[in-house]
Amino acid sequence: KPLSIGLTGGIGSGKSVVADFFSLLGVPVYTSDAEAKKLMQTDITIRESLIEVFGDSVYSESGELNRAELANIIFNDDEALKKVNTIVHPQVRLHYQAWLKEQGQVPYVIQESAILFDTGLYKNFDRIITVTADPEIRIQRVMLRDKCTRQSVLERMSKQVSEQTKIDLSDFVIYNNSELIIPQIISIHEQLSCL
Ligand code: ATP
């Protein structure tokens, strides 16, 4: 069975970019955010629980997830957001476990998730990689990427586990300020491939 490696990092750190490079090296990468979005559409347990908690209107008559409606419900309501997470996260965990079993003969696979340390999920991995960059650089990147204000980035950042905590709990750290990330990624890849 391949080793299970967690890849995380704060908003704008560059996790997705790093994940793409691992993918190019042939490493199977599970992108939690994207998979969660798909499961909210396809997973019957999630569907039934969301309807039970938030009402029929979170899915359209044709069965599509009503994202705007759900976004409305959780906007500025941390309790509602927590409820959604409590419904979705366990199913993502199960889906990842099933996916992991299908990956065949590779030394390791990666699960990318922004919230490994927020959820206690990090304890389930064989090794953890954290991508980090200075706050100011991350703010600028996210403002550019999401066309959003500094304030909204700061708000999202303030809800995340601190960089230092993430670094302390990680086995590998990738620095993504102005450093070259490819040599860092190749070095980690070589180490993980011969564990
Ligand atoms: P989030 O948690 O918000 O999804 P993330 O950690 O996945 O963020 P990315 O989307 O990978 O971050 O990167 C954030 C933005 O910064 C992207 O637009 C990306 O192209 C850009 N970026 C990442 N790394 C660098 C870099 N080294 N130099 C310049 N731009 C970068």
- Condensed to tens digits (0 to 9), the pLDDT of residues 38-77 reads 999 999 999 999 999 999 999 998 989 999 999 999 988 9
Distance between CA 148 and CA 160 in Å, rounded?
Answer: 18
State whether residue 146 is helix, strand or coil: helix
Return d(Cα 112, Cα 82) in angstroms, integer.
20
Q: Which SS3 state, helix, strand or coil, does residue 141 take?
A: helix
pLDDT of residue 92: 96
Instruction: Find where tokens 């199960």 sit.
Output: 94
CB distance 6 to ligand 1 below 6 Å = no
Q: How far is the CA of 9 from the centre of ligand 1 (A)?
A: 10
Render each residue's pLDDT in the chain as its tens digit; 195 residues. 899 999 999 999 999 999 999 999 999 999 999 999 999 999 999 999 999 999 999 999 898 999 999 999 998 898 999 999 999 999 999 999 999 999 989 999 999 999 999 888 899 999 999 999 999 999 999 999 999 999 999 999 998 999 999 999 999 999 999 999 999 999 999 999 998
DSSP type of residue 162: P
What stretch of H or E contains 83? Answer: helix 78-101
With a 6 Å cutoff on the Cβ, whether 9 touches ligand 1 is yes
Atom of ligand 1 nearest to the CA of 33: 4
Domains, the chain, with CATH or none: 3-28+103-193 (3.40.50.300), 33-86 (no CATH)
Q: Which of 113, 110, 114, 105 is nearest to 156 (CA)?
A: 114
**Ligand 1 closest atom vs CA 19:** 11
Rg (CA), the chain: 18
